[in-house]
């Protein structure tokens, strides 16, 4: 009889003897760990398979159509959880609003279509090469060449 060396579970970290019949056995038999294994598989599948992702969205939309009053009933029967969620949502809204205020500050982020007709920051269009360097947006700097075209 072969004794398998114990390995740590990827979910709970406890050591367990892997099954000799199962290849790449990395989760123990605990119910929570098996649920973690399934959740990890589903996250990977949602990220890599567009057909699966579309089917999941459609399935959720169908369920919501059949159970349109679910959240109304949930809030009515679980008032403590609903009150807690409302309080937490206010905090999330404040955080989102504070980030949005920073995003709307024109001195921090330049918008691609923010040019004013015929005016630059110095008062007139200057021909030449310029680097557009974003400060927050995750994009590379872009080199542009501006040429003045007479209006006549």
| pLDDT per residue as tens digits for the range 72-94 | 998 899 999 999 999 999 999 98
Residue 31 is assigned to a structural domain of this protein: yes
Residue 2 is assigned to a structural domain of this protein: yes
- Asked whether residue 30 carries a pLDDT value surpassing 80, the answer given is yes
| pLDDT per residue as tens digits for the range 105-121 | 555 554 555 555 544 45
The residue range of the domain holding 26 is: 1-67
| pLDDT per residue as tens digits for the range 35-50 | 999 999 999 999 999 9
Residue 140 is assigned to a structural domain of this protein: no
Q: What is the mean pLDDT of residues 54-75?
A: 94
* pLDDT band at 123; cut points 50, 70, 90: very low
Residue 13 is assigned to a structural domain of this protein: yes
Count CB neighbours of 9 within 10 A.
21
The pTM of this model reads 0.48
Whose CA is closest to 83, among 70, 95, 96, 74?
Answer: 74
For 114, residues 6+ apart whose C-beta sits below 8 A from its C-beta are 106
Looking at the structure of the chain, the number of domains it has is 1
């Amino acid at each position: 009889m072969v004794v398998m060396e114990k390995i740590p579970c990827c979910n709970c970290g406890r050591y367990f003897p892997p099954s000799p019949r199962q290849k790449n056995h990395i989760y123990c038999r605990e119910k929570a760990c098996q649920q973690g294994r399934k959740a990890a598989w589903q996250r990977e599948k949602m990220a890599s398979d567009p057909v699966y992702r579309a089917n999941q969205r459609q399935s959720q939309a169908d369920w919501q159509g059949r159970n349109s009053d679910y959240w109304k009933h949930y809030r009515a029967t679980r008032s403590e959880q609903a009150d807690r969620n409302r309080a937490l949502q206010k905090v999330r809204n404040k955080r989102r609003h504070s980030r949005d205020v920073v995003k709307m500050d024109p001195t921090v982020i330049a918008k691609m279509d923010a040019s004013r007709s015929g005016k630059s920051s110095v008062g007139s269009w200057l021909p030449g090469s310029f680097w557009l360097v974003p400060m927050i947006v995750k994009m590379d700097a872009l080199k542009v060449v501006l040429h003045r075209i007479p209006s006549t």
